Amino acid sequence: MSATEAFLDLPDVRILFRWDGEEGLPVLLLSNGLGTNLTMWDEQVSGLANHLRLLRYDQRGHGQSSVPPGPYSIEQTGRDVLGLLDALEVQSCSFCGLSMGGTVGQWLGINAPRRIQKLVLSNTAAKIGTEQSWNARINLVRQSGVAAAIPLVLDRWFTADFQKRAPETVARIRTMFLATDPEGYVAGCAAIRDMDLREDVRNIQGPTLIISGADDAVTPPAEGKYLAENIPGASYVELAAAHLSNVEAAPAFNSALLQFLLPDQTA
């Protein structure tokens, strides 16, 4: 399996991206959530890269991508993806985004439908949280750093059972979160705080799969069902997981993606 990693300089941000899988396979772009980086998709690489060519990247302000001054907007993060696709000469591909990555996917489905063949929106919502809750998170991180948000995050990202069963995985994700630049995290919080796509998602027309976690307290199943009910023809899958369903329920997550993206190969 071939893999390449490089940086792309866009007008106001430097983006780290990585290819996994052989050229010629259908391309699936994976978009990470708030407080994570492209390694959050490692379980998808091991499970999907024989079937798909995977394109991962670090959101602006996250991982090894640069940290432009905030606040960010979902339009900015969506245009980062379009800039990446343009630079790599990818005319269109399928897209899977989780949480904040799912909000990027919604924006793309609404504003750049010709670039997205099939859309997977995982553990996300058309409106996530409240202005008050995001402002409280922003203030906490500004005052005390990202470590102060750990109690708010890990117990929502993973069920208690998974934390007991897979402590090494949870520790890896915790380390990833702690490495997030505080300014990038705060700027990402603001992008989610200011986003409301509840009306606009009705304009998404392409094939769409919604994935929810049955125990997700961040974007509960009701939010996923809202998307499924308001995006024409969307399918809905609910997994036994909390917020990071791609990690906690990786085999089921990968199976859902393959069945949706490559139905002829999984029939």
Domain map of the chain by residue range? 3-266
Whether residue 21 is predicted with pLDDT greater than 90 in this model: the reply is yes
pLDDT in tens, 22-43: 999 999 999 999 999 999 999 9
The pLDDT of residue 65 is: 98
Check pLDDT > 80 for residue 266: no
Percent of the chain with pLDDT over 70: 99
Q: Chain centroid to CA 131: how far?
A: 21
Residue with tokens 């603001």: 190
pLDDT of residue 141: 98
Q: How confident is the model at residue 1 (pLDDT cuts 50, 70, 90)?
A: low
Q: What is the topology classification, in CATH, of domain 3-266?
A: Rossmann fold (3.40.50)
Mean pLDDT of the chain, nearest integer = 97
Alpha carbon distance 230, 41 (integer Å): 27
- Residues 75-99 pLDDT 10s: 999 999 999 999 999 999 999 999 9
Q: How confident is the model at residue 138 (pLDDT cuts 50, 70, 90)?
A: very high
Q: Report the pLDDT averaged over residues 206-225.
A: 98
Q: Which residues contact 205 (CB under 8 A, 6 or more apart)?
A: 109, 113, 232
pTM: 0.97
